[in-house]
Structure 1
């Protein structure tokens, strides 16, 4: 009778043990204190947390701007040494592979845990334990994730982490402006990964990039502003801001081109211009759309080989009030990569006057691809190849922006384990 009147009764809740266990208490104290914790106290608090599980010799490393080394974060309670190379070091293996690395030592096990904040890789946490059990591994992964979240949140109001990354080498004023507006230079989700490198890393001026993953659509842009130095950085910043404004207004690619074009023309007139590419990738289907505004054509990579240049009918720079170029499309297959790059990649000349050219870029892609783990290492090795060709000297910015579409779905991440 009651069921007919009031409907079916809700299912009975199964009583569960909600008492605080050791791991929850350890992570909970870190989380509870993180809201008011000054940035300089992250190091001693992390060291104390690690000591609670029997760990010692704690280090935190961040990647440097040139993507060559991992630099130690100084702080009370942390072990600080020299920077370590990304290639060939256990810290580098953990960072590039996004996985825990264990190294047996005479006095225990040295453990290297990647610091991952969502899709962004922050650095590596290192510590030594006498022994390592599966419960320790699970707790360390969660501890590292919480540390990464803290670092990212505190970065908004401290220079401590920026200063650690650049070590003893300052950024130019133009580069300072650029990095202040760039998104993280790497991202990974089950459906898509991306990585970027800007050279010369500490003096980049006119090159910039942007991306956002909005409800299954990955929005991307790569920008090359006319000129050099501070003036180019300001022009690139305007273009990037106009791109974000149009993206957040949810306009189409042709309308986005027009908005950016009008912003540049209205501010700088016909004296300056910007080349760019704006893209949309459906991360569920692999359907790619893009507008090319004066850039070299992107390269489609399948099975570590360049199979196609993604050509467009017209490539019109922005800032001249010209009609928007046509939208180009491509259907990616799972595992496909697309490399976007600025003209500084293929037009730079080496010490002997030789031009890098697209053919040498393709050779480099097909050489480093099979031995590289993921898009981060691939981009970093391509950038290193470019640096060698330049002989350490550059006359223009050069940016690489690599995306890889994995396909599939990420829905399982929203389902709790039973």
Structure 2
């Protein structure tokens, strides 16, 4: 007999007593309490191509479900429950979302239609997403599931430094992507919401491999240190520049260091030798903000004047896309650059189709990889910021 409350209580007990390796067996035991024949967690791989079952056994080969053109994929990309295409099969896919981060999906094969219209299963999916996120760092079950290729050390270092790919708070949404997933070394992003200020930064380090990842790590953590010390954008720039120059003489990092006042939409940033953001409004793109306004981090001693801070007031629904040159300078087989116009057209079209921000970014990075026929010449990283306040008056 179904007993959703007992199922919740049993799963809650895993928070303190179990590792994620034990989750598949726990779900098998819990399934009858939900009138389910099968309950399986599937996690998205690093390249966001397919969903892979969490088995608790790193050596076990399991069948994946591709994201594109499947019911499971539709649940993942839309963050909504989706029934299997065959109405005679009581197979349901539910999104596993922690905050705004898309972890994967929950596959549930039912023995009977639930009386509550999947409400109880939705609670179970939310609880499992919380369990996976809170306990993923105590073992390697999640990493064993998500990794489909050996990860290079430089990429390991970078991924362990980054915040979740997606975040929503204070009327803002941020979502980011990085490629090549298993060999990235010089690119990184960061964000933080403190009160009504949203901080966001994008970094592109010179070089590749372990040397670049070491410089990126220093840059990222110096940025966080300056931010947490309450430094202004200008002083943050100076602090990072000082440490890059002292620890890696001759090296440099291009960057955008930005802050958004989530009450007023005031966007302030320093462009340290970095490409200008793409600013989208009302289905089109606006003229780019001035760039650069400062020399790359590590080279500021070559100029006497302080870094320039650009200020721009956003309107409700505006979208900013920060990107590294690996996006726009990717090349087709005949050498044609992907370019800013193609980037703007892609994002504008995707927004017009009503795709969620995280899905826009997933499809963008796959488009870039495809454009270079699967072999990226440079790290390609992008971060999208959307401002959508409820209480807002047009200026």
TM-score normalised over the length of structure 1: 0.86
Unaligned runs of 5+ in 1: 1-20, 410-418
- The answer to whether the Cα contact below 8 Å between 1:59 and 1:80 also exists between their aligned partners in 2 is no
Cα deviation 1:259-287 (Å, max 9, x = unaligned): 11111112112x10111111112233322
**Among residues 240, 259, 282, which one is paired with 2:220 in the alignment?**
240
1:182 corresponds to which of 132, 140, 162? 162
- The reply on whether 1:229 has 2:214 as its aligned counterpart is no
Query: 1:276 corresponds to which residue?
Result: 255
Counterpart Cα distance in 2 of 1:287 and 1:379: 24
1:293-325 Cα offsets, whole Å, 9 max, x none, are 111000111234222312246231011244542
Alignment counterpart, residue 214 of structure 1, candidates 194, 197, 202: 194
Higher mean C-alpha deviation, range 318-327 or range 149-158: 318-327
Tell me the distance in 2 between the aligned counterparts of 1:80 and 1:60: 15
How far off its partner does 1:107 sit?
5.0
RMSD (Å), alpha carbons: 2.2
Q: Could you tell me which of 29, 40, 50 is aligned with 1:59?
A: 40
- State the Cα distance separating 1:222 from its structure 2 match: 0.6
Moved more, 50-59 or 216-225: 50-59
Paired with 1:67 and 1:92, the residues of 2 have a C-alpha distance of 10
Task: Look up the match of 1:349.
Answer: 331
Alignment partners' CA distance in 2, 1:172 and 1:136: 45
Aligned to 1:259: 239
Equivalent residue, structure 2, for 1:9: none
Q: 1:334 aligns with which of 316, 319, 323?
A: 316
| Match runs of 1:3-402 below 5 Å | 22-75=3-56, 81-103=62-84, 105=86, 107-133=88-114, 135=116, 137-167=118-148, 169-189=149-169, 191-269=171-249, 271-312=250-291, 314-322=293-301, 324-371=306-353, 373-402=355-384
Stretches of structure 2 lacking an aligned partner (at least 5 in a row):
none
1:408 to 2:390 alignment: yes
Indicate if the aligned counterparts of 2:276 and 2:292 stay in contact, CA closer than 8 A: no
In the TM superposition, what is the alpha-carbon distance from 1:391 to its structure 2 partner?
1.9
Are the aligned partners of 1:243 and 1:256 in contact in 2 as well (CA < 8 Å)?
yes
Larger Rg: 1
Q: Aligned in 2, Cα 1:372/1:382: closer, same or farther, shift over 3 Å?
A: farther
**Displaced runs of 4 or more, over 6 A:** none
> What is the CA deviation profile of residues 68-94 of structure 1, one whole-angstrom value per residue up to 9, with x for unaligned ones?
222222248xx9852222222222211
How many residues are paired up? 385
Structure-2-length-normalised TM-score: 0.91
Q: 1:241: Cα distance to partner?
A: 0.7
